[in-house]
Each structure stands twice: as C-alpha cells, then as structure tokens.
Chain A
Amino acid sequence: SQQGEEDPQALSIQEGENATMNCSYKTSINNLQWYRQNSGRGLVHLILIRSNEREKHSGRLRVTLDTSKKSSSLLITASRAADTASYFCATEPSGGYQKVTFGTGTKLQVIP
C-alpha cells in the first residue's frame, strides 16, 4: 500500500506563478523527501526534511512538515517551464529504514 498520497493529482499554472503540492501519509515517519520526475526519466532527489524539522528551503523550493497532521507541502516559487514534471513525496516510516514508500505523484504543468 502507498504510504504517501499527493494532492492535487494534476496542476497547471502560468510561468512565474507559485505551485503548491501536498503530501499526506499514514504512519509515523523518520523523514520525508520530495523527488521530481521528468517525462520518461528517473526520479531526481530534491529535498529532505527530518521529522523534527518544520520547514526547509532549497533555492526556489520550500518544504513544510506537520507531523501532527501527517502532511507535508512543497512550494515552488516563480515557476518556470522547466519545472514541468511529476513530483513525488517519499517517506521512511519510523523504525523502517529500507522500507521507503513513494506516493502517487502530482503532475505539474507550467505554461510559458
């Protein structure tokens, strides 16, 4: 079964706008990561947030984590056409290294 569920499933925005994607999960986690997948390619690691962190930044990416609600969000600011891709959250359950599970993804389209 999938640990993470992304919302929305698909998102279409204009270049320059911000894109927000959400991830909900079911059990306690050690860490949560976000990955990007361009069409027909492998996944690329974007950012990691530990369970004791609430917010993290990397360039135009901002990730938040709310362990009480078992949810995370990924914000991409000032989006570019090159950001068009699918975005996945991945979680490591507590006590479960090697059992990382991925969500079903959000498909983002950035229109030039």
Chain B
Amino acid sequence: NAGVTQTPKFQVLKTGQSMTLQCAQDMNHNSMYWYRQDPGMGLRLIYYSASEGTTDKGEVPNGYNVSRLNKREFSLRLESAAPSQTSVYFCASSDGWLRGYTFGSGTRLTVV
C-alpha cells in the first residue's frame, strides 16, 4: 500500500547511545517532515525537507540531525540520546500544503 513507512516501531536506548530513525515514502512527494509528539504538547516540528537536497530546522531541532538521502527517504539521527528525547516520532510527507500531510505510524522511543 502507498504511504509513509517508519522503522523501527519501538526502540529503547540508554542515555548517550545513538540511533537513526528511518522514513520512506512511495508517493513521489517533494516535502518530508519529522515531528515528535509528547503528552499535552501536541506535535512539534523537528526538521523538514522541502525538496531533495534541502533540510531546515523546525521548532525543536536541538539534539537531532537529518539526512534527505533521496526523494523517497528522510532519516532522523540522535547522536547522543537523552531522557528528554523519550517521545513518539512521526514522519510525514506532502506534495503541496493544500493536499495535507500523510503520516507514518510512528516510532515509540524510550531513553533510559
């Protein structure tokens, strides 16, 4: 089925460990996004990529890096995980704001 695929679905890290969250879309969308969702905070934009080869910071970029590997893939890296990064991470893509975003099913990350 067409859509946004995120891996892994669940992950537990120790403080200081690193990891990369993967995201791929097969809808030929130009724009891709990473959000985090915390209780009572809604979704907050971490980084986005308007098109292949470009990335920009969102509202909460500290502690994260991203790579737009190609048009399909947009990865999020935590270099040194901290407990404050415990959250649910969502990747999304779009091909024009007027069409809305398509979201992946999320990665639930716990940092202990």
**Residues of A bordering B, CB below 8 Å:** 1-2, 4, 30-31, 33, 35, 40-45, 48, 50, 88, 90, 92, 97-105
Kindly identify, within residues 81 to 112 of chain B, every residue whose CB is under 8 Å from any CB belonging to chain A: 90, 92, 97-98, 100-106
Q: Would you give the shortest CB distance from A66 to chain B, in whole angstroms?
A: 20
Known: A88-B42, A98-B56, A100-B45. A43 touches B101 (CB 8 A): yes
Task: Decide if A101 touches B45 in the complex (CB within 8 Å).
Answer: yes
Q: Is the interface of A mostly helix, strand, loop or mixed?
A: strand
Which of chain B's residues have a CB closer than 8 A to the CB of A98?
Answer: 31, 48, 50, 56
Kindly identify, within residues 1 to 34 of chain B, every residue whose CB is under 8 Å from any CB belonging to chain A: 4, 31
Docked Cα-Cα span, A98 to B55, in Å, equals 11
Docked Cα-Cα span, A35 to B90, in Å, equals 14
Tally A-B pairs: CB < 8 A. 58
Task: Decide if B50 touches A103 in the complex (CB within 8 Å).
Answer: no
Task: Decide if B41 touches A104 in the complex (CB within 8 Å).
Answer: yes
Known: A42-B90, A42-B106. A102 touches B43 (CB 8 A): yes
Task: Decide if B41 touches A45 in the complex (CB within 8 Å).
Answer: no
Which of chain B's residues have a CB closer than 8 A to the CB of A45?
Answer: 100-102
Task: Decide if B59 touches A101 in the complex (CB within 8 Å).
Answer: yes
Which of chain B's residues have a CB closer than 8 A to the CB of A40?
Answer: 106
Interchain residue pairs with CB less than 8 A apart (9): A2-B42, A41-B105, A45-B101, A48-B100, A50-B98, A88-B42, A99-B45, A100-B45, A104-B42
